[in-house]
Structure 1
Amino acid sequence: MNVAYTDHADTGYRRAEEKAAQYFASLYVQVKEKSYIPILTEDILLWRRKHIRRFAWRSFFSLEKRKPDTRDYHKYIGWLHHTGELDQYLDRSISYIYMRDLGMALDSPDTKRRILQVVEDTKKLLLHSVSKDGGNKAPDFISLAGLYRWAQKEGIETAVIWVINKLKHVADHIPEEMDAEQAQRKLIKIIVGVVMHVIEDLGAEASPAERSARLEDAIRLGYSYGLTYPFIDDLLDSGVLNVQEKEQYSQMIRHALLTGTVPEVGQWNGKNMELVHYVHQELTDAFEYIKGRQRPETQQTFFEQSNVFFHSQHVDRTKDLANPHYTNEELYMPIILKSASSRLIVRSVISASADEDFEERIFAYGIYNQLADDFADMFQDMGDGAVTPYTYYLKYRDQRTDLINPYELYWAVISHLIHNVYDSDAKTRELLLDRAINGLKRCKQRVGAENYNEIMRIFASGNPEFNELIQQMVRKADQVDFLDKLLRDQMVAMLRNERKEKDYFIDTFKSVREEINHNLQIDKAHDIPPMKATLIDAANYTLEGDGKRLRPILTWVMAVKEYGLQASAVIPLLRSLEYMHTASLIFDDLPTQDNASVRRGRPTLHRVHDSATAEITGLYLIQKAIEEQSSLKGFDPETVLKLIQYSSSRAGDMCAGQAMDLNSKGKLLSLEELNTVCYYKTGIAFEASLVMPAILAQVNETEIAILKKFAYHAGIAFQIQDDLLDVQGDMEQLGKPGGQDAENNTSTFVTILGQEGASREMWEHYCLAMEALRELPRHTAFLEHLLNYMVNRDR
């Protein structure tokens, strides 16, 4: 190992331990002497004047009974605005973030001005989201479309596209044994935290170019640092790896932090081999990126703090709840170190200049946050057999009279922060008590009053008068909730709901695809002429290819799930769409057009037979499509006629699109011309998949117009991804050779805009498509997932 790195790391850890020991000793004295109680009691009595309202009965019933559940984001923000409480709610929320995450003292005039500005900006964002959205949809600013719109405003589209792709791959690789939503939330939280630090570090005088460059770097640094939470902390806490694998994995991480060099994976067998290799590569890239961005004067600090963070986590993680002999120091020292160092690392990650006051505040603050989190997770930790101050005290309190009560220590920390760290600042006292009471309220709501009261009988029995005051606040105090908690709940709910909807999307996709495949084959009567039999065989050969069936699947979902039409009644429409689409592919593949040799993983029809057979087969499938549409039963005849007229018109437009495409070969098209060709060739087919079932359901023209708008942008996004895959993909991945566009001298989004520009254009159309969906008066989860599939697919 590199001796210099090792010496620095060991020295840094010993120095941090000494500091933590001094801090813990001072807290220990306060708990033992209960000196924090009279001071904090006075604080709470001052605090409650603002939080215990003396409503008239009419006022109580008119306001409180209408207060919506915080899980309904839109109604809750609207209610806060309506009652005039939104400004105060945002002030305490933003102020708390500045204190906890950014390590700032709230009595600074500059900090006060900055908080005021952020509150105003956040208020506009929230009210815009509430007025724009409705129902149970997530706020648009925490959606991918909202993220990309922010990226455009800041000029950092490339970095945001990069991190969106990275987050998708992380989500795909989180094992089932882990809490995928919480892992993703932590990673996103760290990215946001690093970005916030950089924004504050920049100040208002930074030029747009400098701001964009720093924000782009912050996103990559945030991802690189945040990756340690799902793939080090959560992975080692879970049961995914066995004991031997955890030890091997931990040794690799320690080696990297002590030497500055990531070791090779080495021999790793079993079911986790693929996961470990993926994680190793991602963490290696992340480690090298952070290390490469360090200034010489900050690199040592980064390695020291990272070592403190990882080693203290490791010490804490390897405790055994069955061991009754841990000292108070052994229980609390690691959590002081890991909770403080996790936030201190952020400053070194972004190579921020040293700030002694910041470091002192963050070091003292960390244990408060950790004790609050451990209290919230207490029941789960007990079930998992994890050692935290709370679980250990619950198990051994009757055997070990020397054990510190962590609940009492929690309040001692709060008193220490208010008076010794933040110099009795009134705003700080307000926020810390707001947060503490809010945490107890949330716990009581989550576990139920009976479990909560039982826990309080255990932890608060030594200070009955003080506890009664606290519980009075828990029962009666209001205006103690926070925006970050609201958004945290929203994000976790959104991620979990997305996973459920994604599973439904995949299951629906598979089952409907199977049903469509089962109904696609064209039957042959016994007495048909041989040449027609050959024609049907040729058509069936093409239909048997491994097609995605996107268009008929989309039609089925819209018809059956959205509009309530009978599944059996729309089968002819599904067949007609796939017949029409397959016919267009046959023509597209001909030597006179794109001259493709492979389609859907098989030789194209003109290669199996000849061009004449392929042309006739294409015409035959078009006629079959019209025949299927005319056989729709159980619908108003005028409606069916309207559908056939629409279908015929759109088919003609698709032919025009192919003619435009052929005419453009060898020419450099403008973006506007390419969009037109793309819409006629691809977008119209998506439009038809949406509009045709809407026609059958006799949907109003306003909704049909929105569907057309969505289809226009979704179709172009789909085509851009096709163009990107043609450059990036291969035969095995795509089911057809890559590089065909270049071979055919075809203008594509990539040839016009380059890969980076094409990706930006795709995400622009993605946003426009998503924004169109928000105008629909119905739930659109399937369409959202379809759009996500379109831009994230690999074939």
Structure 2
Amino acid sequence: MNEELKTKANNSYRLAEQKAGHYFETLYEQLVGNAYVPLLTRDLQSWKHHHIHRPSFFSFFSRRKDKPDSKNYRHYIQWLNLTGKLDSYLQRSISYIYMRDLGKDLNAPDTQASVRRVVDNLKEQLTSEQQEHTETFSMVGLYRWAEKEAIESTIIWLTQKLKTVASIIPGGMDGEHAQRKLIKIIAGVVMHVIEEMDTDITPLERSQKLDQAIRLGYSYGLTYPFIDDLLDASVLSLEEKQQYSELIRTTLITRTVPELGVWMGRNKELIQSIHSELREAFEYIKNHQREETLHSFFEQSYVFFHSQEVDRVKDLYNGDYTNEEIYIPVILKSSSSRLIVRSVISAPEDEGFDHRTFYYGIYNQLADDFTDMFDDMEAGAVTPYTYYLKYHNTRPDLVNPFELYWTVISNLIHNVYQSDPQTTEVILDRAINGLKRYKEKVGTHKYNEVMKIFAPEDPKFHQLIQKMVSDADDVDFFDKLLRDHMIMNLKNDRKEQDEFLDTVKTVRNQINRVLPISKNGLAFSEEDPIVDAANYSLDGDGKRLRPIVTWVMGVNGYGLSESAIVPLLKSLEYMHTASLIFDDLPCQDNASIRRGRPTVHEVYTIGVAELTGLFLTQKAIEEQASLEQFQAKSVLQLIQYTSKVTAEMCKGQAMDLEAKGKSLTLDQLNTMCFYKTGIAFEASLIMPAILANAKEQEIEVLKKFARHAGIAFQIKDDLLDVEGNEALIGKPLGKDAENHHSTFVSILGPEGARKEMWQHYCLAMETLQEVPSNVTFLKHLLTYFVNREQ
């Protein structure tokens, strides 16, 4: 490594360290002189008049309006709106975000106008969400926003990137926490960029800036799961951590990502994947920096990384660390992490932002460290709280971090924000809310034990704080609600996805066991190849999606007997397999490989393949006619429906053959692919509904869902034929182009096809809101449709 560059980086760190040391000295003087106590006491006495309300006589008769559990996101927002609290709730929440993430002065008129605008927009969104029963913070909500901003391709890219990150994060790390943090960073960068935009910006320029902001946010945010969290976790060995840290340090000093080189540890594949993603992210940031902000970016990044490293190597069993050694790295990493964002987006110099952000960072960090102190203690991490917990009885010189926290608050209110009333309100709201949340998390007994250790020396001030924690109301924040909601959704999604995959695997195995056709009772001799050819085609590595959907809808959705619907499951797979045999014939798609094996006409003959397809079609009808445990009228209706579906599938295939070499319109392609493939997916939903005598309205909604889901599935097929992995797909790529088929890719191009796929995904998801039964499986099935690799 170039020694001159290394020296410059270390000099930059020393300068930052000196600045942080001066800040700590200022705080220490205020703490030991107890100067913060009278100031904050007056602040809290004034503040409490707005937050402690004596119960009125009428309040005893309004129990039905009691505050709901904030874990129920939807009900909580609805309650806030009904009780008239939503405005003030959003006002303090957005004000806090502007102060914390954007480094704004809440007393500035332009900041106040911006906050008001965001509050109004967010309130409209949240209240309309209650009326329409839609989920705003979902892929559908995100994509609908992207459509308005004309950045659909960016969101599709981001979705794929987040999927990649989720697949890389190892088991020894908190995947949901890492993803949430990454999403938070992206949102923060986007907020910065929006705030920097001129009011007269054109729609095209706005789209371009938002596209870049999302990509920059992802690129910077990637450092949290793949550097900070990874180095904090116990995934890597000590030697691997040292090697990885040196690689990151070299990158920041030389401004170039070095080759990974020889990796001797057990996590070679993991590091290779991470190295590839980080290198791409690093190059994107570097290539989108203005020259005048590039130096600031690397300088702040090095300060951030090195300060974390200084803390990371501390040993909790070393009882000799000074207060400066404990707190200065905290000041550096907490301020530089936010200062980096300004340089990432190449924002112009803003002395006020730098000033406020530098002094503000430790406030947030001390609050977070307080919440995590016992997890950090268990992990052996050195933080101001863990170190004080371990040594406060033997080291009277140690600064009490809880007292320093209040000192920081006093300093921010009176010396940084000049006693601005609104800023005072928001900071105290946040401080009391943090303690209330912690008390709720650990319980009153544990909380009181903690407070005995960290109680400030002034007993009256301590009592005042605890009074606020006990009695104060209206101090909740939207970002905390959203954080809890996001983590809960990520965990639920993971749990539901695991259940979905388990269901698919279990039911697929059950279906595979009953599919083989016996020659007993059939007019075939042992030498006749039809049954053998049928079993050969059924024995391939099929996904069995259609019968699996039917099983889930029938058994879990409508309560039908598992054994009673076995004939229906067999009939669906027989029909589907027959359609594949016909589709592969030389006179149609002329495919030689299907499901990773030679097609039926390649193994046998074209004539046998044609007869096998016809045989399987008739076996499907035979199976349906044997549904003895259902009403005859329902079975007859089902067979009539099947005949109609088969005819429409033939119509779709005929349209496909007729379209060879021709350019279709998007509407024609949608119609053709629905008849060709979507109608079969519809059948898997409608058949169990018919047997269960479902209402016609529900059947129509399921048909609508099936249409959009089926088209999304077909578009994914078209994309995989162009850019998939042949080994995973089980058949050669490029067959559509070879056969001169019109596809979504040939008509719209890959990017346009992806947009069309996500459009149908959204329409299908929105349709599910109208389905009265549990649709969790269908949601994950649809997500599988658009994210599958085969």
TM over 0.5, yes or no?
yes
C-alpha distance after superposition, 1:193-222 (max 9, x if no partner): 000000000032211111110100001000
Which residue, 264, 283, 289 being the options, matches 1:294? 289
Decide whether the 8 Å contact of 2:240 with 2:265 is kept in 1.
no
Question: Hey, what does 1:623 align to over in structure 2?
Answer: 618
The CA deviation at 1:643 is: 1.3
Query: Shift in Å at residue 532 of structure 1?
Result: 7.9
Q: Which moved more, 1:536-545 or 1:458-467?
A: 458-467
My pick for the range that moved more, 639-648 or 94-103, is: 639-648
1:774 and 2:769 correspond: yes
Kindly indicate whether the alpha-carbon contact (under 8 Å) linking 2:551 and 2:569 is maintained by their aligned counterparts in 1.
yes
How far is the alpha carbon of 1:569 from its aligned partner? 1.2
For residues 243 and 57 of structure 1, the distance between their equivalents in structure 2, rounded to whole angstroms, comes to 64
Q: What is residue 745 of structure 1 aligned with on the other side? A: 740
Aligned pairs (5 A) from 1:11-90:
11-60=11-60, 62=62, 66-90=66-90
1:689-722 residue CA offsets vs partner (Å, 9 max, x unmatched):
1111111122212221111111111111110110
The C-alpha deviation readout for 1:711-751, integer Å capped at 9, x for no partner, is: 11111111011000000124312100000001000000000
In the TM superposition, what is the alpha-carbon distance from 1:61 to its structure 2 partner?
A: 5.2
Whole-angstrom CA distance in 2 between matches of 1:681 and 1:3: 66
Aligned-residue offset at 1:9: 2.0
The reply to whether residue 170 of structure 1 matches residue 149 of structure 2 is no
What is the alpha-carbon distance in structure 2 between the residues aligned to residue 4 and residue 348 of structure 1?
Answer: 23
Q: Does 1:610 align with 2:602?
A: no
Aligned-partner residue type, residue 89 of structure 1: Y
Displacement of 1:462 in angstroms is 2.1
Paired residue secondary structure (1:679): helix
Tell me, yes or no, if the aligned pair for 1:8 and 1:304 is still in contact at 8 Å.
no
CA distance in 1, matches of 2:4, 2:750: 43
Distance 1:121 1:665, change over 3 A: same
Q: CA deviation at 1:11?
A: 2.7
What are the Cα deviations for residues 243-282 of structure 1, in whole angstroms up to 9, with x where unaligned?
A: 0000000000000000011111111144311110000000
Whole-angstrom CA distance in 2 between matches of 1:358 and 1:5: 28
User: Alignment partner for residue 151 of structure 1, among 125, 146, 169?
Assistant: 146
Aligned to 2:648: 653
Matched pairs, number: 790
Counterpart AA for 2:649: M
Cα gap change, 1:78 to 1:723, in 2 (>3 Å): same
Q: Is the 8 A contact 2:718 2:743 kept in 1?
A: yes
Q: Distance in 2 between matches of 1:585 and 1:513?
A: 19
Structure-2 residue corresponding to 1:213: 208
2: CA distance between counterparts of 1:323 and 1:682? 67
Give yes or no for contact 1:524–1:533 (8 Å, CA) kept in 2.
Answer: no
CA distance in structure 2 between the aligned counterparts of 1:20 and 1:573, rounded to whole angstroms? 72
Q: Which stretch of structure 1 is more off in the superposition, 212-221 or 377-386?
A: 377-386
Aligned to 1:132: 132
> In structure 2, how many angstroms separate the alpha carbons of the residues matched to 1:184 and 1:299?
27
Give the whole-Å Cα distance in 1 for the aligned partners of 2:697 and 2:522: 49
Inter-partner Cα distance in structure 2 for 1:285 and 1:648: 53
Distance apart, 1:293 and its partner CA? 0.7
Q: Secondary structure at the match of 1:145?
A: helix
Tell me what 1:136 maps to.
none
Once superposed, what is the RMSD of the aligned Cα atoms?
1.3
The SS at the match of 1:50 is: coil
Q: Which residue of 1 aligns with 2:378?
A: 383
The percent of aligned pairs where both chains have the same amino acid is: 62
Matched, 1:762 2:757: yes
Separation in 2 of the partners of 1:386 and 1:722?
A: 49
Aligned mates of 1:8, 1:630 — CA distance in 2: 82
Compute the TM-score of the two structures, normalised by the length of structure 2.
Answer: 0.99
Q: Distance in 2 between matches of 1:285 and 1:448?
A: 45
Relative to structure 1, the CA distance from residue 274 to residue 74 in structure 2 (aligned partners, 3 Å threshold; closer, same or farther) is same
1:55 is displaced (CA, Å) by 2.7
How far 1:8 sits from its partner (Å)? 3.6
Choose which of 308, 325, 333 in structure 2 pairs with 1:313.
308
Q: What's the secondary structure of 1:285's corresponding residue?
A: helix
Contact 1:730 1:737 (C-alpha < 8 Å) held by counterparts: no
Cα distance in 2 between the residues matched to 1:456 and 1:702: 59
Distance 1:57 1:463 in 2: 36
Equivalent residue runs for 1:357-368 within 5 Å: 357-368=352-363
Deviation at 1:7, TM superposition (A): 4.1
CA contact (8 A) 1:224 1:289 kept: yes
| C-alpha contact 1:727 1:738 (8 A) present in aligned 2 | yes
2:298 corresponds, among 292, 299, 303, to 303
Paired residue type of 2:277:
E
TM-score using structure 1 length: 0.98
| Alignment check: 8 A CA contact 1:20 1:337 kept | yes
Partner of 2:237: 242
Instruction: For 2:571, give the aligned amino acid.
Output: S
The answer for unaligned runs of 5 or more in structure 2 is: none
1:44 aligned partner, one-letter code = L
Deviates more, 1:722-731 or 1:770-779: 770-779
| 2: CA distance, partners of 1:383 / 1:527 | 69
Q: 1-side partners of 2:171 and 2:715: how far apart?
A: 33
Deviation string 1:333-391 (CA, Å, 9 cap, x unpaired) is 11100010000000000000010000010000100000000111112112222111111
Aligned to 1:103: 103
- Alpha-carbon separation, structure 2, partners of 1:669 and 1:270: 54
Residues 745-776 of structure 1, C-alpha deviation per residue, up to 9 Å, x if partnerless?
00000000001110111111111111111222
Taking the aligned partners of 1:612 and 1:730, their CA distance within structure 2 comes to 32
What amino acid maps onto 2:183 in structure 1? I
Comparing 707-716 with 773-782, greater Cα deviation is found at 773-782
What is the one-letter code of the residue matched to 1:498? D
Partner of 2:691: 696
Moved more, 17-26 or 528-537: 528-537
What residue number does 2:198 align with? Answer: 203
Of stretches 380-389 and 104-113 in structure 1, the one that deviates more from structure 2 is 380-389
Corresponding residue number in structure 1 for 2:421:
426
**1:343 and 2:338 equivalent?**
yes
Shift of 1:463: 2.5
Query: In 1, Cα distance between the equivalents of 2:408 and 2:499?
Result: 47
My pick for the range that moved more, 232-241 or 373-382, is: 373-382
User: In structure 2, do the counterparts of structure 1 residues 753 and 527 end up closer, same or farther at CA, with 3 Å as the change threshold?
Assistant: closer
Query: What pairs up with 1:399-410 in 2 under 5 angstroms?
Result: 399-410=394-405
Other structure's SS at 2:49 match = helix
Instruction: Find 1:641's aligned residue among 636, 640, 653.
Output: 636
